[in-house]
A = this chain, B = another copy of it.
Amino acid sequence: MITYKTLAKALNMTEIRARRLLKSKSLRKTSYREFEYLIFKRDIGPYPEGTAVIFHNDYEPKVVPGYPQISRILVLRVAVPQHFRDQVIVEEKLNGYNVRVVSYAGKLLALTRGGYICPYTTHRIERIFRSKGIEDLEGYVVFGETVGLENPYTRYRYPECEDFCFYVIDVMKDGTYLPIDSKKKFCEDNNLECVRELAKVNKNDVDKIWEIVKVMESEKREGIVLKDPYNRVPPLKYTTSITNIGDIAEGMKYMFDEGRTYLFPRILREVFKSFEEEPNEELLKERIKMLGEAILLEPLNAVKKVNIGEAIAEEFVLKFYSENVIDEFLSYMQKQGILLNIKNMERENDEIIIWFMKPKRTNLELRNIMSSGLSPLD
C-alpha cells in the first residue's frame, strides 16, 4: 500500500509534502503484478521526470531516478569547447528507447523513459540478463538503450541487432552515475554490452568529432553522445542528417501523430548542421531532396493508402516466451490508452510471435478529410 508516510521516507521529504504530492497531478499511480508504483510526471526536487517509486508489501519502497533529458548540440564547434572541461568521451547514440533496469523484491524490472514498468521489455531484458547470469543488480540502476525491431516503441534496423538488444549507457550506484571507466568495468564484469566508445578527444578537437559524425553518417547511424569522463558536466548529444531527416520521414507516415511534432525540432537540427558542416552543393541538394521527399511523399503515400481503403497503422512484431506476458502487455498498453490489434500470431518452439497493429489518429483524420474534402485546420 502506498501511503504518504512510506513515500515521505522513500523520498526523504516531510510527510506534509509527501501528502500534498500524492494528491497532486505530478504523480501517477499504477501497478505491475504485485508492485504498486508512482511515476513522476515532472521534475520534483532532485528527481527528474520519469522517476518511479516502487512499492511492495514485503520490502522497503525503491526509488528509480528518471534519466535526465540530454541537451542537444546544434553547433559542435561552439558547444563542445564551452561545455566540457578537458577530455570528452564520444559514445555512440543508438536509435532505440531508453530503459532502466533494476532489481527489486527478487525481480528484475525494466522501466521506460516515462517511468512505466513495461511488461514486454521486462520479459525480454530478464531473459538477456538471466542468460548472462545476472539475477540481482543489487543497488545498481542500469540505464540502457533497447534497440532492434522487436519492440513496441522505436524500431530501427541495425546490422548487429535485428531482434532485441540492450546496450548499457550509464550505471548508477547510490544516486551517483559511475565514471565512464567504472561503467565499462561494470559491463565487462557482468558480461553486459556497453554502447560503443568511439573516441576520447580533447574538447578543442572539434575536427575529430566531425570526422566521427561523418563516419556515423556514412554508416547510417543515429549520432553521438559526448560525455565528461567523470560526469563533472552533463552529457550532450548530436545526431546525423540521416537521423534528422529519417525521423521526419518516419513521423510523416503518421502526419497527425508523430509528424506534426517531429517537424520543427528536426528541421532546426538540420538547419544548424548544414550551417556548421557546409556541405558542398551536391550534398546540400541531396539533403534538400531527402527533406522534401520526407515531408511530401510520406504523407502522400498515406493519403493514397486511405483512398483505396487501407488503414494507416503502425505495425510491429513482438516475441514472447510466456502467454501471461502477452496479457500483461496488452493491458499495460490499454492503461495508456492504446488499444492494439493483433494481426497474426505464430508459435515456434517456446516462442510466440505476434504481429500487432497500433491504430493512429492519422488514419481517422485522413479518412475525414477524404470524405468531406475539407481541412480540419485552416
Contact = CB atoms under 8 A, between A and B. Distances in A.
Interface of A: 69, 71-80, 82-83, 236, 255, 259-260, 263-265, 267-272, 274-275, 284, 287-293, 295-297, 299-300, 303-304, 307, 369-375, 377-378
A74 to B, nearest CB: 5
Contact of A296 (B271, B300, B370): B271
Nearest to A307: B275
B263 A263 contact: yes
Contacts of A71: 374-375
Contacts of A295: 267, 291-292, 295
Most buried by B among A79, A82, A236, A373: A373
Nearest to A271: B299
A104 B255 CA distance: 48
B293 A288 contact: yes
B260 A303 contact: no
Nearest to A69: B378
Nearest to A377: B265
Given A72-B375, A377-B264, A292 B288 contact: yes
A207 to B, nearest CB: 15
A271 B288 contact: no
A303 B271 contact: yes
A165 to B, nearest CB: 24
B288 A304 contact: no
Nearest to A303: B275
A271 B300 contact: yes
A275 B307 CA distance: 10
A284 B259 CA distance: 21
Q: What are the 10 closest A-B residue pairs judged by CB atoms, nearest first?
A: A79-B373, A78-B373, A292-B292, A288-B292, A75-B373, A72-B375, A265-B377, A291-B292, A271-B299, A275-B303
A362 to B, nearest CB: 11
Given A74-B369, A271-B296, 5 more contacts: A259-B264, A267-B299, A274-B296, A291-B291, A292-B295
Contact of A73 (B73, B74, B78, B373): B373
A268 B289 contact: no
A114 to B, nearest CB: 15
Contacts of A307: 275
A300 B74 CA distance: 13
Nearest to A78: B373
Contacts of A284: 296
B373 A80 contact: yes
Contacts of A292: 287-293, 295
29 contacts: A69-B378, A71-B375, A73-B374, A74-B373, A74-B375, A75-B369, A77-B373, A78-B372, A82-B373, A255-B267, A259-B264, A260-B264, A263-B263, A265-B377, A265-B378, A268-B299, A268-B375, A268-B377, A271-B296, A271-B299, A272-B303, A275-B300, A275-B307, A287-B292, A288-B289, A288-B296, A291-B291, A292-B292, A295-B295
A367 to B, nearest CB: 12
Nearest to A265: B377
A236 B80 contact: no
Contact of A72 (B75, B260, B378): B378
B289 A375 contact: no
Given A369-B74, A369-B75, A375 B269 contact: yes
A243 to B, nearest CB: 13
